[in-house]
Amino acid sequence: MARRAVRSTPVGMINTFRSVVQFEKLSLDPVERRLRKAASVEDFRRIAKRRLPHGVFDYIDGGAEDERSLARNSTAFANYEFQPRVLRDVSALDTSTTIFGRTVAMPLILAPTGFTRIAHSQGELAVTRAAQRAGVPCSLSTMGTRSIEELAAVSDGDKWFQIYAWRDRGLVEELVDRSKRAGFTAVWLTVDTAVLGRRERDVRRGMTLPPKIGPGTIVDGAIHPGWTWDFLRNEPITFANVVGLSDEDGSTAVNLAEHMARQFDPALSWDDVDWLRSIWDGPIVLKGIQTVDDAKQAVSMGVDGLGLSNHGGRQLDDAPAPIELVEPVRDEVGDAATIICDGGVRRGSDIVKAIALGADAVSMGRPYLYALGAAGERGVDQMLANMREGMERTMALTGRRSVAEIDRSLVRRRRR
């Protein structure tokens, strides 16, 4: 009775209210406010969608044709479920491993993405710095918007260079040579881009790189002032690695499909793998392997790494989801090559699944682009921290203390 009386007085009510409600400290920093709302990759995607002009967001987010490969890349992870073990003393967890003999903090590589500065003016510099802080390798695309030398100047962390085979092989040799001199440790040769996939969101918008200014882009820019201000007050975006070497260096707007058709060589073949070996003596990863047969052939030619990838669903629609290739490819090639699963990785638990099925590492593209577009370099830091925590949490909840303990018995195909 007495308790009831205390509660019903105004002071009592205020005390009760105080005991259950704690006001969040207001932050004057808009990036901080966005970061607080970004608990997952999907949150970063949502924030990036709000902040980036529609054409820019669609260039990053979109896939080929009906986008079935794009969707399946991530939903295929749900086809596998854990078989967790308990009571295994998981008080000390270690996510580190080695890739090509070099220690990394977790089995994750940031994949190459062309035109990264379209998400944020710092572009690849921000991504490279964040990768070094997180202890993971990052990759620079042939179509990158910061140069090999600029990346080397901001980070001595592990950096990989991605090669598109230009018709002008002399240009590729020059890029490979520059990568070597700048201390890059591995190269990807992208093999899934004989022609550019039909990305219909870009077709509909008449998307060019950089975006051509017209009435549509002016309106788009005006309703996304944060991005527009960042874009306008920084130096123009170019294909920084080929400036001075190619007449198409991005300084004037190009349609990506037409540009690639002009510059890239559809005659690329297995013979070129030998040519690449003759100009680069470090690890070579073929990026875009999509069958067991091609994995076997690559290994027979002495390739060091297999990038199981469908280019994030941006090339051939209805190409297989890379996570589903990991197990059969590992069974076929054994320990003869490093296997990297690329496409649809959105959580630390996805990394654990890929490792359990037989991958040595995963790589990811859109997650860091969303993070960059949503909150710049700090966004990439937070996304990578989330991945590491997610991997640790999954390891703790499944009874695995190290990457070596993440074995095949940890996952099984889900019964429908």
Ligand X SMILES: Cc1cc2nc3c(=O)[nH]c(=O)nc-3n(C[C@H](O)[C@H](O)[C@H](O)COP(=O)(O)O)c2cc1C
Question: H-helix or E-strand containing 287?
Answer: strand 284-289
Q: What is the DSSP letter of 248?
A: -
List all residues 6 or more positions away from 26 whose beta carbon is below 8 Å from its beta carbon.
none
Per CB under 6 A, 311 contacts ligand X: yes
> For residue 284, which amino acid is it?
I
Q: What is the closest distance, in whole angstroms, from the C-beta atom of residue 188 to ligand X in the complex?
A: 6
- Cα torsion 290, 295, 296, 300: sign: positive
Helices and strands (H and E) in the chain: how many: 18, 12
Q: Is 259 a catalytic residue?
A: no
State how far the Cα of 2 lies from the Cα of 12, in Å rounded to an integer. Answer: 12
> For residue 253, which amino acid is it?
A
> For residue 207, which amino acid is it?
M
Q: In this chain, which of 53, 55, 114, 283 binds ligand X, going by CB under 6 A?
A: 114
Q: In this chain, which of 99, 111, 285, 306 binds ligand X, going by CB under 6 A?
A: 111
State how far the Cα of 368 lies from the Cα of 342, in Å rounded to an integer. Answer: 13
Of 54, 368, 59, the residue nearest 199 (C-alpha): 59
State how far the Cα of 207 lies from the Cα of 128, in Å rounded to an integer. Answer: 27
Q: What is the closest distance, in whole angstroms, from the C-beta atom of residue 33 to ligand X in the complex?
A: 26
- In a 10 Å sphere around its CB, with 0-12 CB exposed, 13-18 middle and 19+ buried, how is residue 135 labelled? middle
Beta carbon nearer to ligand X, 114 or 400? 114
Q: In this chain, which of 53, 55, 107, 112 binds ligand X, going by CB under 6 A?
A: 112
Q: Which residue has the tokens 């997952």?
A: 40
Provide the 10 A C-beta neighbour count for residue 43. 18
Task: Identify which range of 111-119, 173-181, 298-306, 395-403 contacts ligand X by CB under 6 A.
Answer: 111-119
Of 45, 138, 66, the residue nearest 314 (C-alpha): 66
Residue nearest to ligand X (CB): 365
Per CB under 6 A, 147 contacts ligand X: no
Q: What is the DSSP letter of 119?
A: T
Q: What is the DSSP letter of 254?
A: B
Per CB under 6 A, 316 contacts ligand X: no
Task: Identify which range of 101-109, 308-316, 325-333, 376-384 contacts ligand X by CB under 6 A.
Answer: 308-316
Among the listed residues 120, 224, 259, 311, the single catalytic one is 311
117, 250 contact by CB (below 8 A): no
Kindly identify the residues of this chain, within the stretch 156-175, that bind ligand X according to CB under 6 A. Answer: 162
Beta carbon nearer to ligand X, 120 or 400? 120
Q: What is the closest distance, in whole angstroms, from the C-beta atom of residue 171 to ligand X in the complex?
A: 15
Beta carbon nearer to ligand X, 142 or 394? 142
Q: What is the closest distance, in whole angstroms, from the C-beta atom of residue 154 to ligand X in the complex?
A: 20
Give the x-and-dash track for 349-388 against ligand X (CB under 6 A): ---------------xxx--x-------------------
Task: Identify which range of 204-212, 260-268, 294-302, 309-317 contacts ligand X by CB under 6 A.
Answer: 309-317
Per CB under 6 A, 339 contacts ligand X: no
Q: What is the closest distance, in whole angstroms, from the C-beta atom of residue 118 to ligand X in the complex?
A: 8
Q: What is the closest distance, in whole angstroms, from the C-beta atom of residue 255 to ligand X in the complex?
A: 15
Per CB under 6 A, 344 contacts ligand X: yes
Catalytic sites, residue numbers? 311
Task: Note the residues at the interface with ligand X (CB under 6 A).
Answer: 60, 73, 111-114, 141, 143, 162, 190, 287, 309, 311-312, 314, 342-345, 364-366, 369
